[in-house]
A and B are shown apart, each in its own frame.
Chain A
Amino acid sequence: EDQVTQSPEALRLQEGESSSLNCSYTVSGLRGLFWYRQDPGKGPEFLFTLYSAGEEKEKERLKATLTKKESFLHITAPKPEDSATYLCAVLADWKLTFGQGTILTVHP
């Protein structure tokens, strides 16, 4: 069975304090790894897709990386507006399996 584990469950940062979120996975036949951002009361918003180990993608202050067993979402010099829940998901065949998410809070 496909499994996705995200850590930490919650992360509090000061504005400008860089950090990383982790997503560990076990899946048969990984076709892609996805990162989503979810704000309170809203649906998940697509951020990145990573396809193979060694791949990296960037968007503003976010950079996602992928190895054979895990993915990291690096947040550089975060701002309060980066506060949200970040969800990782793995795609095997057609099914997307989500982790429980990391709740990120960035204090001014």
Chain B
Amino acid sequence: DARVTQTPRDKVTEMGQEVTMRCQPILGHNTVFWYRQTMMQGLELLAYFRNRAPLDDSGMPKDRFSAEMPDATLATLKIQPSEPRDSAVYFCASGLAGPVETQYFGPGTRLLVL
């Protein structure tokens, strides 16, 4: 049963600390998406990769967030420095690029910044 995996599942940190979240997309998928979910804003797209290349990161606060794909099996989202307003659940999703692409979501990383 192919699934997107994310680590850590939960993270509590203090304001100013660096946070790194990791995602392993489904084997064979060539697109990766990072989303943030909050009660107020719902699901917001942060970044989009296709074939490991970043195609869109317009939803990401550029000064503190960065997203990378070191290889086809790993995507990372970093926040440095973290702030309390970054507290949310961060989801990674993967898919196969095509005319109508289905995105498959991971279980999420719940981040709390104190």
Interface residue ranges, A against B (CB under 8 Å): 31-32, 34, 36, 41-46, 49, 51, 87, 91, 94-96, 98-101
Contact = CB atoms under 8 A, between A and B. Distances in A.
Most chain B C-beta atoms within 10 Å of own C-beta, residue among A36, A42, A43: A43
Contacts of B93: 43
Contacts, number: 47
Enumerate the 7 nearest inter-chain pairs by beta-carbon distance, A residue then B residue, closest first: A43-B105, A32-B100, A98-B43, A44-B105, A100-B42, A43-B107, A43-B108
B25 interface: no
A31 B100 contact: yes
23 contacts: A31-B99, A31-B100, A32-B100, A34-B102, A41-B107, A41-B108, A42-B108, A43-B91, A43-B93, A43-B105, A43-B106, A44-B91, A46-B103, A46-B104, A51-B100, A91-B100, A94-B56, A94-B97, A94-B101, A95-B48, A96-B45, A96-B103, A101-B42
A87 B93 CA distance: 15
If over half of B's interface residues share one DSSP class (helix, strand or loop), that class is named, otherwise mixed; here it is strand
B48 A94 contact: yes
Name the interface size band of chain B.
20 to 34
